[in-house]
């Protein structure tokens, strides 16, 4: 990788907003390149451009086969009637469909540069979704061989070149192939042939494939995912770091009278209303679409489908900007069980996501926590590693006062806290550490309580979350057993059960764990805490 053609503007999880710089202008990412049929195109390129697609993709192999002379004479932009960036595919997909193509890797490289493609692909050998291991391995080796040969025929003055990574569902092959990308001077990496896997709604496998390739590559390389065009899956792929997509789904679904929505796909005949406000759906009711002649109907549905895809792309970009991509994934994971599975698969890569996720941005948005799955979002995992791996309490054999379920945030700004600190000060009690037991986060020591997102979150939780949180608290006290000689759990009466569970877990580590329940005034609570701290407690466990 040599040329700097990609600029990252913003990030969320491992997803990014960026710009790919081509000879015909910048392409804002994440985005999708609609597949344009050079022979017969139902939706005009002007309409596609006006919907918001800045770049398109077409097939150089078909162009070469059917209109080579014209393409070479006019150049691809004039031929297609599109002044923006044009991506060309090489015929690799045709190999997958028909087994072979009658063009050599050299010919298609030279042809793509000669017609002026802005982004082009070498003639790879797609693995597909059904190949056995040995066959998959061969497709990888052969694609690498072709990638090396093809370099000799590239002028690379205007065209950006895609290095296709193959290997299908075999992750060791994908990783091996992706590492080759680091050795060869290509501009963009693509992950090949997920189409057959996507057709089976096997999103989880694609998650593994993307994560495997992305973990090998530096962030500076843009990554393209071939043939994945359903908006349902776009947020998940983007979250892992895919920048561009291409798909003919808008027209293929339209021909099948299916409408694409960010949440799924519906058949026209099943719709009594269309839950969409695009220009097509604003103008026509389902019945009117049904009554149109077929060509007109296909065109209208295709336009709707393009709007739906662009709507989701914009939604994803805005989520990256707000740093709320995780929230979008949680929402979208409920659209289909296979997406829910994809989401849980993505959680396996939480360390990778945390590495790339900007924990806080200049413009801070609070986070929402719903259930045990929310525990894996990077803000929480980041806090856990900060608490358990990097944070060290400064006291020795001191007393920990742990408040359970303090809802006011942050602790250090509450009247309660300030009064206790003042009282401890007055009595010259120094070896005392105040902290909160906070669902999802575990233990929040007073020094950390103002860090993001401890005060910037809204939550709902259940016993599963509380048990997980207790485990985090246990780990904290285990790691810092020398810091404390006594722990005082301060809790309102209704949460006594929670305090008892916590006590049960910490007792084996630090024998002296007491529970103080309270229901009286602030000053009475404080004096009770003080008497515990001073060690002259009359062993009243309740006020
Ligand atoms: Zn619509």
HSE value, Cβ hemisphere, 13 Å, CA-based, for 63: 30
CA 2 to ligand 1 centroid distance, Å: 42
CA 178 to ligand 1 centroid distance, Å: 38
CA 223 to ligand 1 centroid distance, Å: 29
Task: Please tell me the distance from the alpha carbon of residue 96 to that of residue 92, in angstroms, as a whole number.
Answer: 7
Q: Burial level of 543, CB count in 10 A (0-12/13-18/19+)?
A: middle
Q: What positions carry a catalytic annotation?
A: 89
Element (H, E) at 307: helix 294-322
Task: Please tell me the distance from the alpha carbon of residue 333 to that of residue 263, in angstroms, as a whole number.
Answer: 9
- Closest by CA to 367, choosing from 383, 351, 355, is 383
Q: What is the CATH number of domain 6-323?
A: 3.20.20.105
CA 229 to ligand 1 centroid distance, Å: 17
Tokens 């086969």 correspond to: 65
Helix, strand or coil for residue 437?
Answer: strand
| Pair 290, 297: CB distance under 8 Å | yes
This model of the complex carries an ipTM of: 1.00
Q: What is the pLDDT along the chain (543 residues), one digit of tens a residue?
A: 567 899 999 999 999 999 999 999 999 999 999 999 988 889 999 999 999 999 999 999 999 999 999 999 999 999 999 999 999 998 777 777 777 778 899 999 999 999 999 999 999 999 988 899 999 999 999 999 999 999 999 998 899 999 999 999 999 999 999 999 999 999 999 998 788 888 888 999 999 999 999 999 999 999 999 988 889 999 999 999 999 999 999 999 999 999 999 989 999 999 999 999 999 999 999 999 999 999 999 999 999 999 999 999 999 999 999 999 999 999 999 999 999 999 999 999 999 999 999 987 767 778 999 999 999 999 999 999 999 999 999 999 999 999 997 777 788 888 888 988 998 998 888 899 999 999 999 999 999 998 889 988 999 999 999 999 999 999 999 999 999 999 999 998 888 999 999 999 999 998 899 998 877 677 777 888 888 888 754 433 333
| Pair 121, 154: CB distance under 8 Å | no
CA 46 to ligand 1 centroid distance, Å: 18
Task: Please tell me the distance from the alpha carbon of residue 295 to that of residue 303, in angstroms, as a whole number.
Answer: 12
- Closest by CA to 228, choosing from 212, 215, 242, is 242
Beta-strand ranges (E) seen in 132-171 are 160-165
Q: Which two tokens stand for residue 279?
A: 């220009």
CA 254 to ligand 1 centroid distance, Å: 12
Q: In the chain, what are the domain boundaries?
A: 6-323, 367-534
Enumerate the H helices of 159-202 as residue ranges.
Answer: 171-181, 195-199
> 30 to each of 87, 176, 234, 343, 362, how far by Cα in Å?
15, 26, 9, 19, 22
What DSSP state is assigned to residue 323?
A: T
Asked if CATH classification 3.40.50.10630 holds for the domain at 367-534, the reply, yes or no, is yes
Q: Which two tokens stand for residue 372?
A: 């045990």
């Amino acid at each position: 990788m040599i040329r700097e053609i990609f600029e990252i503007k913003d990030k969320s999880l491992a997803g990014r907003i960026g710009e790919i710089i081509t000879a015909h202008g910048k392409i804002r990412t994440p985005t999708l390149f609609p597949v344009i049929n050079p022979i017969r195109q139902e939706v005009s390129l002007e309409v596609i451009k006006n919907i918001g697609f800045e770049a398109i993709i077409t097939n150089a192999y078909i162009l070469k086969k059917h209109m080579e002379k014209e393409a070479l004479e006019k150049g691809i932009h004039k031929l297609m009637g599109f002044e923006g960036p044009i991506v060309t595919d090489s015929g690799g997909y045709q190999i997958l469909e028909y087994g072979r193509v009658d063009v050599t890797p050299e010919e298609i490289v030279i042809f793509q540069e000669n017609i002026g493609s802005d982004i082009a692909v070498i003639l790879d050998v797609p693995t597909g979704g059904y190949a056995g291991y040995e066959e998959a391995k061969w497709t990888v080796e052969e694609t690498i061989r072709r990638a090396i040969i093809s370099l000799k025929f590239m002028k690379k003055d205007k065209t950006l070149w895609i290095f296709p990574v193959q290997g299908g569902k075999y992750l060791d092959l994908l990783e091996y192939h992706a590492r080759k990308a680091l050795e060869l001077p290509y501009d963009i990496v693509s992950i090949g042939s997920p189409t057959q896997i996507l057709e089976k709604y096997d999103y989880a496998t694609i998650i593994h494939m993307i994560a495997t390739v992305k973990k090998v590559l530096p962030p500076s390389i843009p990554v393209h995912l071939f043939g994945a065009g359903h908006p349902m899956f776009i947020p998940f792929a983007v979250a892992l770091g895919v920048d561009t997509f291409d798909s003919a789904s808008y027209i293929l679904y339209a021909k099948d009278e299916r409408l694409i929505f960010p949440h799924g796909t519906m058949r026209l005949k099943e719709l009594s209303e269309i839950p969409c406000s695009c220009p097509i759906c604003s103008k026509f009711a389902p019945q009117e679409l049904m009554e149109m002649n077929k060509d007109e109907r296909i065109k209208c549905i295709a336009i709707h489908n393009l709007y739906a895809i662009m709507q989701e792309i914009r939604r994803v970009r805005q989520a990256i900007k707000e740093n709320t991509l995780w929230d979008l994934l949680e929402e979208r994971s409920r659209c289909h069980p296979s997406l829910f599975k994809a989401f849980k698969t993505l959680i396996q890569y939480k360390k990778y996501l945390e590495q790339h996720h900007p924990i806080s941005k200049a413009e801070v948005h609070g986070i929402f926590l719903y259930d045990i799955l929310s525990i894996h979002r990077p803000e929480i995992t980041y806090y856990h590693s900060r608490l358990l791996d990097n944070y060290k309490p400064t006291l020795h054999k001191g007393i920990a006062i742990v408040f359970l379920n303090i809802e006011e945030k942050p602790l250090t700004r509450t009247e309660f806290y300030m009064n206790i600190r003042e009282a401890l000060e007055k009595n010259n009690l120094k070896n005392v550490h105040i902290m909160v037991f906070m669902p999802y986060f575990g233990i929040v020591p007073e020094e950390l309580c103002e860090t993001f997102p401890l005060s910037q979150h809204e939550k709902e939780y259940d016993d599963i979350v509380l048990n997980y949180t207790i485990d985090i608290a246990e780990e904290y006290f285990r790691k810092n057993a020398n810091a404390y000689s006594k722990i005082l759990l301060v809790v309102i009466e209704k949460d006594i059960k929670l305090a008892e569970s916590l006590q049960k877990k910490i007792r084996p580590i630090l024998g002296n764990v007491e529970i103080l329940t309270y229901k009286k005034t602030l000053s009475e609570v404080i004096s009770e805490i003080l008497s515990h701290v001073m060690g002259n407690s009359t062993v009243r466990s309740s006020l």
